[in-house]
A and B are shown apart, each in its own frame.
Chain A
Amino acid sequence: MLHIKCPWCGWRDESEFGYGGEAHIERPKDPDSVSDAEWADYLFFGSNRRGDFRERWVHSAGCRRWFNAVRDTTTYEFKAFYRMGEEPPGGEQ
C-alpha cells in the first residue's frame, strides 16, 4: 500500500485517500469558444506519463482537502507533495 503525505495531516495509508488523476489540467477559460476537439482534449485526453507524474489526491477519510503530488509511475515512489495553487517542484515538464 502507498504511504502518502497529506500536506496538512502528514503520512497516512493510501486507503484514506481518493485519487484525482493528472494535475494542472486547466479548464478552458471560455468554454463556448473552444472547438469540440479542444473540449474533448480537456475532458478526456491526458498525458498518462510513464515516469514522474504530477497528480491530484484528496484526503477523503481525513481532512478532506485536495493536494498535488509528484510520483514516479514505474516505481510508485513519491518525489514531492505540494498544496493546490503552489508551483510544482522542478518547474515545467
Chain B
Amino acid sequence: MRKYSIFSLARNALSHHENWWQAWRSPEPKKRYDAVIIGGGGHGLSTAYYLAKEHGMTNIAVIEKGWLGGGNTGRNTTIIRSNYLWTASAGIYEKGLKLWEGITQEVNFNMMLSQRGVLNLGHNLQDMRTIERRVNANRLNGVDGVVLNAQQVKEMVPIINTSETNTRFPVLGSSYQPRGGIARHDALAWGMARACDDLGIDVIQQCEVTGIRREDGQVTGVDTTKGFIETNKVGAVTAGNSGVIADMAGIRLPVQSRPLQALVSEPIKPVIDTVVMSGAVHVYISQSDKGELVIGAGVDKYNGYGQKGSISVIEEQLAALVELYPIVSRLRLLRHWAGCVDVCPDASPLLTKTPVDGLYFNCGWGTGGWKATLGSGWCFAHTIANDEPHPLNEAFSMKRFETGAVIDEHGAAGVAH
C-alpha cells in the first residue's frame, strides 16, 4: 500500500492534487471466494479486514449494492462511547473503542477520532439513580466514567440551560465518559476499504445480492446482479436490510427496520466542545469541525425502509434542543436526512450463527452501532473464521430470545447512542 504522509501530500500539491493514486481497485467478482461479506458499510468492511488480518482469510469479497458507506455508516451522528450497562455490552463496545483508538495509525488513514467526551444527561431523580448505577457498572467493567452534577455540566457546556425553574425537564446532572467522542464516518468507510484492498480483498460496489443458495442446509453461494458467486461462508452485515437477506435464506430475525433521522445546522463559531445526549428529551448534539451543530433525534415509530422519516419527530427534537440550548433558537437548518436502522427488542445487536450452516448475521445494531464498528467486525470475523463466536460476542446470539437471557440496553441506548 502506498502510504499517505506529509511528503506525499507535498508532492501531490505540486501537481494540484490531480495525480493521487487510486485508493482501492474496483474488481469484477471472481467465480469463488472462501467467504462473502454482504454489505459495504463499516461493519462489513471491518469484518473483512479482520478476517484477512487476524485469520489469514484473504480470498474474500465484500459485496455492496450501492456505494461504500452509503447506508447508516455515512448517515450517522458519529458518537462513540462504551458506557453501556451490562457486562456483555461493556465487553464488545469497549473492544470497539480500544480499536478506534489505534485504527488511524494501523491503516494509515485519518479517522479524525476526537475523544472530546460524552455526557448523558439526567432530568429527574430516577434518571440520576440510573446514571449512578450505570457509571458504577462501567467502572467495575474497566470502562471510564464519572457522575457530574448540574453545576459541573454547566461548566463543561456553558450554552446549556440548567435553570430549574424555567425548564420542563431540568438538568440535574449527567454521566460523563471522557474517552467518548466522535469520528469521521466517510473516513472509516474509505480507510477500511483501502486497508481491505491492500490485504487482497475484493471490494465490489454496485452489486446487489439477490439470493442465498443452499444445499442440505448449507450455504453454497450467492446470486448477485453481477452473477452467481460460489462460497460456503456468507456474512450478512446489511443493517436495515437484514430482514430482506433473512427472507432470501428462509429464516426469521428478531429485528424491525425503522427510520432514524438527523440534521445539521448552519455553521457557527465553536460553542460546544463535547458531546451531549439526552435520552429523556430525545436530542443529542455535537459540533462538527466545520461548525455545524450535528443534531440527532429519536427513532420514528413505524417500520420503514425509505430512508426518510416524519417531520413530527424533528419538531419534537428541535423543541427539546431549544429548551436545552436557548441560543440555538434562531439557527437555520442546513441538511436533514435519515437512515434505516435495524432494531432488536432488547436494544442489543446480533452477531450470530443461524439455522443455515455457513450463514452468519451481524445486525440489530439499530440506532447505535457506529461506535462498535471495529469491535463488531473483529468479533464477527472470529465467528465466521472459526464457525463459533468469540467470548466477547457469545451472548449476542439469536438463542438469547429463546433462553430469556436478553441484554436489555434500553437505558444506555434509548434513542440516544
Contact = CB atoms under 8 A, between A and B. Distances in A.
Interface in B367-417: 401-403
Contacts of A31: none
Contact of B312 (A15, A37, A55, A71): A15
A42 to B, nearest CB: 11
A41 B399 CA distance: 11
Interface string A17-37: 011010000000000000011
B252 A2 contact: no
B303 A53 contact: yes
30 contacts: A1-B310, A1-B312, A2-B302, A13-B312, A14-B310, A14-B312, A15-B312, A18-B301, A19-B301, A21-B303, A37-B402, A39-B402, A43-B345, A44-B345, A45-B252, A45-B254, A45-B401, A46-B254, A46-B255, A48-B246, A48-B255, A48-B256, A49-B243, A49-B303, A50-B305, A53-B303, A73-B257, A73-B303, A74-B305, A76-B302
Interface in B283-326: 301-306, 308, 310-312
A48 B243 contact: yes
Nearest to B301: A19
Interface in A46-75: 46-50, 53, 55, 71, 73-75
Contacts, number: 68
Chain A interface mostly? mixed
A46 B302 contact: no
Given A40-B254, A45-B252, 16 more contacts: A1-B311, A2-B302, A15-B312, A19-B301, A37-B402, A40-B401, A44-B254, A44-B345, A48-B246, A48-B255, A48-B257, A50-B244, A55-B303, A74-B306, A75-B306, A76-B304
A72 to B, nearest CB: 9
A2 B401 contact: no
Contacts of B241: 50
A19 B302 contact: yes
Contacts of A55: 302-303
A71 B259 CA distance: 15
B137 interface: no
B272 interface: no
B103 interface: no
Contact of A21 (B246, B255, B256): B256
